[in-house]
Amino acid sequence: MPTRRRPIRGEDLGGDRVELEVSVARKLYTCPGCGGQIPIGAEHVFVRRTPVDGSSRYHQHWHTDCARPIAREMDLAGRRRN
Ligand SMILES: [Zn+2]
């Protein structure tokens, strides 16, 4: 998982470019993983995704625990840390 000082960048198994970084919620977010809310002030994971199919880059806010499968998939796909 990313830390405050160390984001994770890599690809998922489908070839999308994915970046995970630790963030602090400045407003209320809905986690795409579980549908639950991320309260203001909560540390969570900011996920930026660049689809391999050429569609637009987008980002989402995930609970840290909900984002773990994304990091695992990036591990499987061959993650680079930077
Ligand atoms: Zn969640």
Q: What is the CATH number of the domain that holds 77?
A: 3.30.1740
Task: Tell me if 55 is assigned to some domain.
Answer: yes
> How high is the pLDDT of residue 80?
54
- Within a domain: 3: no
How many whole angstroms separate alpha carbon 25 and alpha carbon 38? 7
**How many A from CA of 3 to the centre of ligand 1?**
18
Residues of the chain with pLDDT under 70: 79-82
Residues that place a CB less than 5 A from ion ligand 1: 31, 33-34, 63, 66
- Is residue 64 in some structural domain? yes
Please state whether beta strands 80-81 and 58-62 pair in parallel, antiparallel, or not at all (unpaired). Answer: unpaired
Domain-located, residue 39: yes
**Boundaries of domain holding 33:** 8-81
pTM of the model: 0.90
Domain count, the chain: 1
Residue 69 belongs to some domain of the structure: yes
Dihedral sign, Cα of residue 34, residue 51, residue 9, residue 46: negative
Instruction: Write down the pLDDT at residue 82.
Output: 46
CA of 44 to the centre of ligand 1 (A): 9
